[in-house]
Amino acid sequence: MKEKHTSSNILRFFPFTKGYRLLFVAALVTVIISVIASYMTPQVIRFTVDSVINDLPFNLPDFLVDWIEAIGGRDFLRSNVIVCAAISLGFAVISGLCMLISRMSMSKACENTMARIRNKLYDHIQRLPFFWHNSHQTGDIIQRCTQDVDLIRNFVSDQLLEIFRTVFLVAVSLALMFTMNVELSLVVSAFLPVVITVSMIFFRITGKKFREADEQEGALTALVQENLTGVRVVRAFGRERFEIDRFVEQNEALTTKWVKLGRIMGSNWGLGDLFAGLQVLVITVIGVFFVVDNKISAGEFLAFVAYNQMIVWPSRHLGRLLSELSKTTISSTRLFDILDAREEQNIENPQTPPMDKDIAFENVSFSYNDASVVLKDVSFTVKEGSTFGILGATGSGKSTLMYLLDRLYALPEKNGRITIGGVDIRDIELSYLRKNIGIVLQEPFLFSKTFRESISDGAKTGDLDTIRKYAQLAIIDDTIQTFSEGYETELGERGVTISGGQKQRVAIARMLMQDTPIKVFDDSLSAVDMETDAKIRKSINENIHGTTILIAHRITTIMNADMILVLDKGRVSQLGTHNELINQDGIYKRIFDAQSAKDEE
């Protein structure tokens, strides 16, 4: 799939130009007019030298000859050479105005197109599966959506128009040159294959090196993002020097790759300048001999030199444009690596059944990326309106059960099934399923908002009284009131201004305010003390309806549940009530005895 589209990735952006294509056409048309107008100036110079200052016949269309004769002919123009200068200036003004219109049209079309691409990227990333995000570093994704997008924008707004202008300039210049002198034109043409060949060679080399540099920059961005996110851990363990050394190592690797790329591009530009200088020198020397031998007039020679200069710069610039094209091709490939990733899909005609029903896991088995099995033949039922506890060691598959329930990971067809009210969750509309399942994680993520905004995030209302009601249920209201700005206090990035236990309670209040029929607490009371843990559980039991699933390491958190599941290495080890399990020899009793002894100590 990737190989199939590599050579045409830039063209794949064409659908994003819908609605702005007339502006792109206007930019191209006006640049053509600009080029034609700029080519008229050398012709005015040729005419002035050959037919006004000298006595060569007017080599012009009949209607222009008639107009010149009407205003006084050659004698009038000789006495008023400023007329020729004014005409030359007029063409220059037309060329400049057309270029201005072209740039403005291209800029407007390009910026709107890139805005559409950025919106599509963000929208698409929001819909990609959870496993895709786990397999891609956040810093690399950010780098692709910023620098790579900007590189494409710069190419489309500047280099793309310049490539078209360059091709048109060379074509028109050669056509006009051949009408004046075939021999000199052939000399000019002999340089073009050499320049194009060298440019194409560097085009391929530059593309490979830029990919390496771009990927290395993505790795550096990911490192910085990770380090800044975990800055408190770095400081707490005194790892500043270690992290600085890591950054320096990655930065030096990036610098080395860009230096190598710079050398390659410098060689390309240097060779371009060399061939350009040789071309000017050769044409000037040969042209002088041709003028002496009367093979070309002085005016034609001046015009020829002017056209040669017009070819020299685009030819020399072609290598640079191809280098930018190479970079853009790589950047577009990296963007389409994202856009080609498959979004989460609903089945055709998905269902929206009642969600306040029994939840059943039937012979569920699961593994991540074909690695060791995380869950093996797990079966149990959570009765509607009940409280269900899950206990197990780290890595036993507790959280995986909830990820599968919420379809953050897709359960393969042959690996069992999960039902709600008898309906397979694969048949339930994805957004509907997730709106009806509230989850609080052990390490909740809080956005850079106020307490008020964080708790009401995603809720139907932002009424302060309602917010306080759910904050009181999560035993966080009194804590919020101690802040000088109360519920309007900014939490900072990822809730950095509050403790881990406070973040968990804010996340619990946020989930409770969604009022979902299914509520999952994934070890979300681990950072609060036992007294607060008990208060929260009592508050929820007395005031919140629906099915509750508690995942915990502390037995005190789940001991009052209607049913408790004990997992061991991905398998169901025990299932029963607290009283039943403490009277059985097994994991639950051993953990209960160990935690009870610790509490007594």
Give the CATH number for residue 408. Answer: 3.40.50.300
- Identify whether residues 401 and 323 lie together within a single domain: no
DSSP for residue 490: B
Let me know whether 519 and 440 are in one domain: yes
Determine the pLDDT at residue 2.
40
Listed residue (258, 249, 251) closest to 213, CA to CA: 258
When pLDDT is averaged across residues 211-231 and rounded to a whole number, the result is 76
292 and 372 housed in the same domain:
no
- In a domain, residue 207? The reply is yes
Do residues 242 and 376 both lie within one domain?
no
Q: Is residue 350 part of a domain?
A: no
Q: What span, in angstroms and rounded, lies between the C-alpha atoms of 502 and 504?
A: 5
Q: Are 549 and 398 in contact (CB under 8 A)?
A: no
Average pLDDT over residues 172-182: 79
Whether 421 and 487 share a structural domain: yes
Q: Are residues 409 and 554 in the same domain?
A: yes
Q: What pLDDT was estimated at residue 599? A: 59
pLDDT band at 364 (very low <50, low <70, confident <90, very high): very high
- The number of CA neighbours under 13 Å toward the Cβ of 59 is 17
Q: What is the mean pLDDT of residues 546-558?
A: 87
Specify the pLDDT at position 573: 92
Nearest to 231 by CA among 220, 242, 240: 240
Per the domain annotation, does 381 fall within a domain? yes
The domain spanning residue 320 has which CATH number?
Answer: 1.20.1560.10
92 & 220 share domain:
yes
Last residue of a domain, one of 285, 304, 339: 339
**What does the pLDDT look like over 525-536, one tens digit per residue?**
776 777 777 888
Residue 364: phi and psi, rounded to 5, are: -85, 125
- Judge if 275 and 381 occupy the same domain: no
What confidence category does residue 1 fall into, taking pLDDT thresholds of 50, 70 and 90? very low
Q: Are residues 389 and 288 in the same domain?
A: no
Q: What pLDDT digit, counting tens, does each position of 98-152 carry?
A: 989 988 998 899 889 989 999 999 999 988 888 888 888 777 788 888 888 888 8
5, 112, 494, 550 from 145: Cα distances, Å? 19, 16, 22, 38
| Sheet with 547-552, side-by-side order of all strands | 437-440, 518-522, 547-552, 387-392, 563-568, 571-576
In a domain, 502, yes or no: yes
Reduced to 3 states (helix: H, G, I; strand: E, B; else coil), residue 18 is coil
pLDDT in tens, 490-500: 887 767 778 77
Report CA-CA distances (Å) from 347 to 129, 217, 404, 429, 446.
15, 39, 17, 8, 32
Reported pTM? 0.70
Predicted confidence band at 4 (pLDDT cuts at 50, 70, 90)?
A: very low
Query: Which structural domain, as residue segments, surrounds residue 51?
Result: 2-339
In this structure, are 309 and 431 located in the same domain? no
| Closest to 533 in 3D by CA, of 496, 508, 497, 563 | 508
Lowest-pLDDT choice from 191-200, 228-237, 302-311, 577-586: 228-237
- For residue 354, is it within any domain? no
Same-domain status, 32 and 83: yes
Tell me whether residue 352 is in a domain: no
Q: Of 339, 374, 398, at which residue does a domain stop?
A: 339
Residues 465 and 484: their CA atoms lie apart, in Å, by 19
Quote the number of domains for the chain: 2
From 304, 339, 374, the end of a domain falls on 339
Same-domain status, 323 and 434: no
Domain contains 459:
yes
pLDDT above 90 for 290: no
Model pLDDT, residue 347? 85
557 located within any domain? yes
pLDDT of res. 390: 93
Three-state DSSP at 476 gives coil
- If you average pLDDT over residues 363-369, what whole number do you get? 88
